[in-house]
Each structure stands twice: as structure tokens, then as C-alpha cells.
A and B are shown apart, each in its own frame.
Chain A
Amino acid sequence: MAYVPLADQEVELHHPHSWVTKYVWSQDHKVIAIQYGGTAIAVGLVALVLSLFMRMQLGFPETFDLIDPNSYYQSVTMHGMIMVIYLLTALFLGGFGNYLIPLMCGARDMVFPFMNMLSYWVYLVSVIILLASFFVSGGPTGAGWTLYPPQTSMAGTPGHDMGIVLMLVSLAVFIVAFTMGGLNYVVTVLQYRCRGLTMMRLPLAVWGIFVATVLGLFAFPALLVAAIMMLFDTLIGTSFFMPAVIESGTALNYDGGSPILFQHLFWFFGHPEVYIVALPAFGLVSDVLSTHARKNIFGYRMMVWAIIVIGLLSFIVWAHHMYVSGMHPYFGFFFATTTLIIAVPTALKVYNWVLTLWEGDIRMNAPMYFAIGFIFTFIHGGLTGLFLGNVVIDLPLSDTYFVVAHFHMVMGVSPILVLFAALYHWFPKMSGRMYHEGMAKLHFWCTFLGTYAIYLPMHYLGIHGVPRRYYALGTTEFMAPATQDANTAITIAALFVGASQLLYFINMFWSLRYGEKSGPNPWGANSLEWQTPDTPPIHGNWGDTLPTVYRWAYDYSVPGAHEDFIPQNTPESEEPTVDEEHFDPDHDVSKADL
């Protein structure tokens, strides 16, 4: 590979001198990425266990003495908040964003490595504050992850004294951490691309992370505003959100506040948040699909435009979470329309993913299983969104299990499948070794089929009218006799899926030690991170000279080329061409590159 010598970037690399500066107080984006990822996955496991507690209660009521109504609502709340913010947001942006942006942009590191390090440690503080709420009197808040006032700070809601305060403080600290990280990601993409790497030559993974970060920077302030004002209401007794209310028979000293104002602020953050998680997933999965299909991503430009348009639209659809909130009902017309308009660019992305497979040369490696699984679950979750977004259908379905099933398909299962696709896909680069293929595929089948078994029946329970956030179904006239059986079956599937995630961890730990050496570019991929001189890349990423980019990231199976891929840093003159006679399509790239 040719590197054109050029004036290097002015990043100050603080080369580590000891174990502590190398792995703890590290300013290397790759170490920070792994710190972010490790913390996010660890706290995500807590949330996973909480969800299994809930499922045990719902599937086998009065059989296990794991949780009471109080801790059920705490589990509901903490499960949701951790999964959305502390796992998915942190893992996609703090984890993959950190790891991939400098590598894919051909940079030595983030623009501000110190601030990047600070971002992780502040994030860790927010996680510690969050987890601390499990140990304070009253426990963590049980107000639901939406934290709707007035109930957040009123007796009758678990954790209404200390729990909610710690939750709000933790969120505020998280937002500070995210802002520090986010400015880094955005400016690195804009300013630290290497020579020749125009925006339109970036892999879609960078595009997804970039736009998601911009969304995050502009959306999180809404949550911060809401959290600050709610802290004032809770601690000082102002009435920003608190109307006149009665708590256990006694009138509280609040008057005139607007609970709906909080909901507007929350969802002005909350809806873009969906895309803060989804857009990086869209980007990462695009690259995985293209690489393993040995074909360029279909309609690259349309894919970039769709990411941008979805990002923009995501700021004007928030009130579709509030159709039945008591806000002025005329808003429903506007928000239903904008919401369904978002379906068009989103559908286009799905078409293009499938069309990338069309006429490809599909290598069924484990990441590809997860990526194709994602398309399936995302189609399912996206289509059920058309029910809920269409205002009048939201009347019977909102606050039922249909909603739970929908957002778990679209925001839980789909991003998680992409996460695993990405974790397996980039594992060889991060570790220098291959994962165990068979175990990874088994992990896929358990996760993919298991989650579908969980969430498909849930949609029907929702249509049937089973409400969400219920500790027990109770006795009703309308519920079909088999409703409890459905809950039991779902719980068994959930326990199975939860347990099968062990496969991933076993695979990772086993492979770190015993995995085959992968070489620098086992998939025959084009983007820059696979072209580093060292694998795993060392601090500074690029050795003596930064790479120069001559082409986009998707020159796969270019007619006339010798290989079925041409890395981005291959100059035109060096493009190996052969006459068709000697073309060997079975040339095994992964072995050749060793």
C-alpha cells in the first residue's frame, strides 16, 4: 500500500509511559472506545437481569419471590433508562464512534484526546451515580423511564425522594460526558479526515455516527433543561412542571405547573434519541452488508441523504409519543403526517440494503447473519411503527404491549443485532484474532429466533388490549384465557435469550486467547481501518505517514480488477487489473493477506 508523505496532523500524542497511562488514564481513542464499550456492556447486563426479573414476575406470577410491586416498577424504569442511554447511546457513539472515527477517517486520534478521555471518566461517574441509586433509602426511581411528573417526586412512586434525584443528576452528568465526546466526534470527522477523503467518500458507518452525534448534541440539551427544572421542582419546590396536587390526602405546596411541558421537552429529546441509536446502527450495518456481500452499498448517495433527512425529520415528530397525553388534539394531524413521512427515507434504506444483496457474492460469515437478521427485525419493527404513528390507531394501541413489542423490535432487538454484527466484524481488528465462527452463528440463531419468539406474540397481546407496565394482569372480563400462557411462553423465551448471551462472552474470551490470528484485513474490506500497518493498531494508528485516499469505500468486485476489493488508499495507477481469462474469483483474500 502506498502512503504519500505529507505534513502530519498536529495531534499531540501523549505516548503512555506506564500501564496506568496506557490502559487507565489513556488518551488513545481505541482504549477509550474499549473502556466505553466495556462499561456500557457491564451496565447493560444489569439492565438485562432487571428485565429477566420482570419477565419472571409476569410469566410466573406468585411463583418466585424475586420482586414485589415496588421493585417491579424500579426494574421497569432502570431497565429502560439503562438500555436506551447508558448502553445503546454510550456503546454506539462512545464505543464504536471512538474506535472507528479516527481509523476510518485516517486520523491519528480524536481532535481533543484529553477531552475524549475526560468524556469517558465523566460517563463512568454518571454510571456510578445511577447505580448508587440502588443503594440509597427508597431505592432507584420507579417512575418509568419517561420520568413523567408529577408522579416522579410524589409518595406512591418508588424512589420518589433520593432515587429520582440521583437519576436526574446522573442524566445531567451523562449529558456533560456526551457533549465532550460528541464535539470530538463531530470535529474529528469534519477536520481530521486524511488527504483525499471527502465527506462523500466516508464509509456509511462514519456518516451514521456523525449525524447521530449531531442529533445528540442538539437533542440532549432538551433533556438537560427538563432535568434541571425537575430537580428544582423536587428539591426546592418550584412549580415548573408541578400543578396543584394531592399526595395521600394532603395538598402539596405546588401550583400551576405544566406536566405536559415536561413531556414536550422529554420527547423533543426522546424522539431524536431513537435515531441517535438507530443511525449508527444503520451506518454500521451498511458497511457489514457491503463487505460480506462483496458488493458496493447500493445507492450510496441516497443512503447519505436518507440519514440526513431522517436526522432532520426526527426533530419534528416528537409529539407522536403524546397523542393521548391531553395535549391539544389538533397537534395530532401535524405529527401523524411528519411521522409517516419519515417512513419514506427509512424504507428507502431498507430497499437499498436488500438491493445490496442483489447480485452480490454473499459470504455467510457470522456478522452477515446478524446484519441480515437486523434487516428482518427492522422491517418488522418499522412497519408496526406505522400503526402507532398513525394517530387514530394510537388510540387503542398506545400504552399496551403493542408499544412495548414495537419499540423493542425497532430499538432493542435491531440495534443489538447490529451491535453483535459490528462486534464480530471488527473483533479481528480490535484483537488481531478471529472469533469462533460456529459459536458466533449459534449465538445468532439463539438471539434472532429467541427475540422473535418474545416480541411477535407481544404485538397481539397489545392489540388484544393488555396494558404495559402492569405488575400483574389481575382479573378482567375481556382478556382471553390464553393471555397468561402467552406471558409464560414469552418469559421462557426471554430467559433462553438472556442465557444465550453467555455464548458471546465465552466466544470473546476464548478467542482473545486461542483465536486464529486474523491478519490485518480478514474480510478483504476497503475502508481505512483495515489498512493500518499494525493489527491491532497501535497508538497513533498509522506509523510514520498518514494514508491518502483515492476512492470511495465501496470498490468491491469492480469489473476488471484482480481482487474483488480495492482499498480506499490504493492509487488508480496501482489498481491491479487482469484479463478476464486469468481472473480467479475464488482467490481467498483472507489467506492472501496474511
Chain B
Amino acid sequence: MSLAIALFLLVIATVVLHFVFAYYFDWWFTPLAADWAGIDFTVIVTLWVTGFVFIAINAFMAYCVWRFRHRPGHKAVYEPENKKLEINLSIFTTVGVVLMLAPGLFYWAVFVNVPEGANDYEVLAQQWQWQYRYPGADGILGTADTSLVSESNPFGINPEDPNGQDDVVVNDPQMRLPVDQDAHFLFRSNDVLHNFTVPQFRVKMDLVPGLISYMWFTPTEVGTYDVLCEELCGIGHFIMRGQVVVETEEDFNAWLAAQPTFAETQNMVAANPAAGQAQYAICATCHGQQGEGLLPQEGVSPLNIGPKLAGQPAWYLERQLQYFKNGVRGGEGDDDASRGMATMSLTLFDDDAVRNMAAYIATLPDEPAERTVTGDIANGQDIYDRNCAACHLDDGSGTWYTDAPPLAGQSDWYLVNQLSKFQSGIRGMHPEDDFGEQMVYMATAMADEEEIRDVAAYINTLVSSRIEVGE
């Protein structure tokens, strides 16, 4: 009896909750931003068919449980089978299946056949970031291969292929698309499986190393959309984010024209460290003459204590300087030292000045900073190996590939300081900080200040091992 009532109430609750979830809490499809109304239509057809079956069978079952419950004098009916009924039910089910399958197969056929004249775009995934390539004026993407990938050619574009020279490469998690034009996405991966998903576009596809997969859609709404990775790709899977900006054709063309082509990135004029050196004098006050960094000490304002810079690669310095200049770091809510740095960074007028400065600092001799932090090294190692090493590597040397700077030999007080800032979201949550949010979430691997110090203490020990390996 109670079960019959419960089943009946559950059916009603399921229907009611459907509307509560979908319309009150908004847990329903995000507003469609691509030309895939057919998918939504198929979902709705399926929802009606299955919803009807769900209500009908369960209500009938609840009725049976109530109606044929054991009572005195009641006896079950002996009925081995009813062929006609079973055949009718099978036919009825088959009709329902056909009803759902027909639009499914129809729209799948639309999905697998890319329309003529669709624009090609390439998405390249690697642990744990997105990059994009546009075919350039010739409309043809040059050939590319994983074996050609390097810091200066992250796409592995074949330098011999004339089609690839005018390809526009966007080494940034954000891509742009013109609205209302068919977009044909070609997918490659440099390492593991990934999956390119924008919920508002409805369609998704895996990126598989060793082959090129594809999908197509027509963006229909101007706006900015999150790109998520939806194929487990390692420890950073959940923080592998990108963005697609859909904009008018004029805006898109203007943006595209400002991006460097592959040929331009390969033939860029080398930065001038000498020019950087001239401007470094002002930095030396806080960061030391050789970029060796200062130690916090009593009586000296933290404003004037800068971390070690020597040993950091140019790509990292360049990015951070740009962040300071643009208010991504050292903005509102940040500490005084960082805000001070933001002001100082304005002395570098243009991108060339930033490049020159980064190039100069990269030439400074890399001596490990003096140690000030102590902690439980074993615990620090446990946390580091499990969570940090995936990007910063086992020996803390970092790599351009995962956009992770070297940690070994860095000023340990600065590591503690920055990890705390990541944890509290002071650093990393700016929308233009491309990889900061990854650190915000990875920093949760450390429970508290003490564990942060443990990790910093462990990173201190990496210096000696690195030097030993080097010798």
C-alpha cells in the first residue's frame, strides 16, 4: 500500500520537479547560439515519448501494486502468457522508437556532412589549454605535425608548406568567429584526448592525437561563450578552459588582421637585451642588481622587496609584465607590493620594451635564492608530486608547454606569498589571466598556510637536485 502511494507520488514529483528544475532553477539547455535547433527538437520529441511511457507504466504499476495487494480471500490469476498483448506492446514500442530515431538520424546526417563553403578553423588542444589557427588569405590550412612542435612553433606547422605561411596562429585560449557563417572545425591534439565543447552550440567532438577530427555549426548569436574540455585529459581536465567570441564580420575581420601570421611569428625580430638592460636600473632597487631578489627583513617596507627574477624564461616574464601593465595583476584588491609593481611596469611603454626587458632578465645568472621557509618537506613533496609536478615538472624546472614557470630556486617567501594569493583568489581570477584560474584551483591541494610552507620548503630542496643533475 505504502509503496503504491510512494510510486504514484514519485511519478507526480518527477513531473513537478521537471518544471521546477528546468524553469525555476534554470537547469535546462542554455540558450541556443548555433544553428542546431534540430538537436533541441529531437530532444523534445524524445522527452515527450519517454515522458509518456514513464508516466503510463509507473502509474499502471502503482495501480497494480495497490489493486492486487494481498487480501483475505484473494487469489492470483494463472495466466502464463498473452501472445497478442505482447506482440501489440512490441509494435507500440517499435513505433515509439521509430518516432525518436527518425529525427535523430536525419539531423545526424546534417551533422556529418559539412556544407560547401564553410570556413575552416583549427583547434589545437594540449594539456591543459586551447589554441587556434585560421587559414589566412588562401583559405587553406598548412600541414602540421606533432613532431615539429617547439616553443616557437607550438602548432607544429610545416615550415616548407606554402599554404601554412599565411596561417594565423592564436596562442591564446580565446578564439573569435564571425556570426552567421558556417564554421568547419578541424581538431588536433598534441598529447592526450580532449573534447571541445561549447554548451550553447550543442555539438562537441573529441580531439585525438594522431588524427584530425571535425565538426561544424553556424554561430547565430553574438556573444562570448565558455569552451570546456569534456574528455578526461589528466589532472588539469577541469580547469582546461577557453572562450569563443562570436562577433560581427567587420569586428572579426579587424581582429583577425591584427593577429600575426605563421610566417611573421617565425621571422620576428629578436628582442634587444641591451635595450632592456638600460631600463633595468629602476627594477634593481627591489629585485637586485642581478635579478637575484631581496629577502624580507625587519624595518624594510615590503613594498621595496622584490622576488628573484633571474632564471625565469622570457615568455613568462613577458606575460607577467603585460599582466601588470594591463591591470590583470596588481589591480584593485591586490597587495601594495603588486600595485607598486603595476605602476612600475608602466615605465615600459610598448610591447617591444617589454620584450627587451624580458630578454635581458633571461640572460641574468641563475643562482638559487636564499632559503627562508621551513616546513614538513615530506608532506610538501607528497602534495607537490601529486598535484604540481604535472605542469611544473618533477624537478620544478617548469616548461613553456604547460605555461608553467620554473619554481626551483625561486624566492621561497614569494612562492608562499603567491600561493596564498591564488588560494584566496586575489591572483588568478582576473578574466584576462589566461592560466591564473588553473592555479587558483590547484592551490586548493594545499589545505592551509602550513601546507603551503611545506610545499615551498620542498621546492627549496629541488635546487640541489637540479644542480646535481646538471653537474
Contacts and interface: CB of A to CB of B under 8 A. Distances in A.
Interface of A: 61-62, 65, 68-71, 73, 138-139, 142-144, 146, 148, 150-151, 154-158, 243-249, 251, 256-260, 293-296, 298-302, 324-326, 329-330, 332-333, 336-337, 340-341, 343-344, 347-348, 350-352, 354-355, 357-364, 369, 372-373, 375-376, 379-380, 383-384, 386-387, 390-393, 395-396, 398-400, 449, 452, 456-457, 460-461, 463-465, 467-478, 480-483, 485-486, 554, 556-559, 564, 585-586
B93 A364 contact: no
Nearest to A396: B202
Nearest to B190: A246
B18 to A, nearest CB: 8
Contacts of B57: 350-351, 354, 379
B238 interface: yes
Nearest to B64: A357
Nearest to B14: A456
Interface string B1-45: 101001100100010010001100111111000001011001100
Nearest to B71: A361
A456 B25 contact: no
B226 A558 contact: no
18 contacts: A68-B387, A69-B238, A142-B235, A143-B232, A156-B191, A244-B145, A329-B111, A333-B105, A355-B82, A386-B46, A452-B10, A464-B26, A474-B437, A478-B30, A480-B27, A557-B78, A559-B78, A564-B76
Contacts of B210: 243-244, 256-259
A380 B54 contact: yes
A150 B192 contact: yes
A362 B65 contact: yes
B61 A375 contact: yes
Contact of B209 (A157, A259, A300, A449): A259
B42 A393 contact: yes
Nearest to A365: B70
A500 B72 CA distance: 34
A148 B232 contact: yes
B190 A245 contact: yes
Most buried by B among A61, A245, A556: A245
Given A248-B402, A390-B100, A480 B25 contact: yes
B93 A348 contact: yes
Interface of B: 1, 3, 6-7, 10, 14, 17, 21-22, 25-30, 36, 38-39, 42-43, 46, 49-50, 53-54, 57-58, 60-61, 64-65, 68-70, 72-82, 85-86, 89-90, 93-94, 97, 100-101, 103-105, 107-109, 111-112, 126-127, 145-147, 149, 187, 190-193, 195, 197, 199-200, 202-211, 213, 224-226, 228-239, 241, 383, 385-387, 389-391, 393, 399-402, 429, 437, 441-442, 444-445, 447
B86 A302 contact: yes
B22 to A, nearest CB: 7
A352 B116 CA distance: 50
B237 A469 contact: yes
Contacts, number: 385
A326 B202 CA distance: 16
Given A156-B235, A294-B76, A460-B27, A246 B203 contact: no
B65 A154 contact: no
A390 B226 contact: no
Contact of B234 (A154, A375, A485): A154
A258 B107 CA distance: 28
Given A244-B146, A463-B29, A354 B61 contact: yes
Given A326-B207, A329-B112, A461-B27, A344 B90 contact: yes
A246 B146 contact: yes
Contacts of B241: 474, 476
Which of A138, A247, A396, A457 gathers most chain B CB within 10 Å?
A396
Contacts of A148: 192-193, 231-232
B27 A457 contact: yes
A579 to B, nearest CB: 15
Contact of B238 (A359, A471, A554): A471
Contacts of A357: 61, 64-65, 68
A478 to B, nearest CB: 5
B130 to A, nearest CB: 15
Contact of B107 (A73, A392, A485): A392
A373 B7 CA distance: 8
A70 B235 contact: yes
Given A324-B195, A336-B105, A70 B399 contact: no
Given A244-B210, A557-B77, A351 B86 contact: yes
Given A69-B387, A259-B193, A157 B234 contact: yes
A360 B70 CA distance: 8
Contacts of A481: 26
A581 B447 CA distance: 77
Contacts of A251: 146-147, 149
Contacts of A332: 108, 112
Contact of A585 (B74, B205, B226, B230): B74
A347 B93 contact: yes
A481 B25 CA distance: 8
A153 to B, nearest CB: 10
Contact of B195 (A150, A343, A358, A399): A399
A395 B39 contact: yes
A246 B126 contact: yes
A248 B209 contact: no
A482 B25 contact: yes
Nearest to B389: A155
A175 to B, nearest CB: 24
B149 to A, nearest CB: 6
A401 B458 CA distance: 38
Nearest to B390: A156
Contact of B101 (A71, A347, A361, A390): A390
Contact of A396 (B3, B14, B203): B203
A336 B400 contact: no
Most buried by A among B38, B60, B191: B191
Nearest to B444: A62
Given A246-B401, A247-B191, A399 B3 contact: no
B27 A482 contact: yes
B46 A393 contact: yes
A98 B166 CA distance: 68
Contacts of B235: 69-70, 73, 142, 156-158
Given A333-B105, A364-B70, A376-B10, A558 B78 contact: yes
Contacts of A472: 238-239, 441, 444
A344 B81 contact: no
Nearest to B21: A460
Given A375-B61, A456-B17, A585-B72, A392 B104 contact: yes
B206 A69 contact: no
Nearest to B80: A296
A557 B400 CA distance: 76
Contacts of A469: 232, 237-238
A25 B371 CA distance: 60
B442 A151 contact: no
B232 to A, nearest CB: 4
A399 B231 contact: yes
Given A154-B234, A386-B50, A244 B209 contact: yes
A371 to B, nearest CB: 10
B30 A249 contact: no
A386 to B, nearest CB: 6
Given A460-B21, A464-B26, A556 B65 contact: no
Contact of B28 (A62, A146, A341, A460): A460
Given A69-B442, A326-B205, A585-B74, A486 B25 contact: yes
Given A73-B232, A386-B50, A556-B76, A395 B401 contact: no
Contacts of B27: 457, 460-461, 463-464, 480, 482-483, 486
Contact of B191 (A246, A369, A392, A393): A246
Nearest to B213: A326
Given A68-B444, A259-B193, A324 B97 contact: no
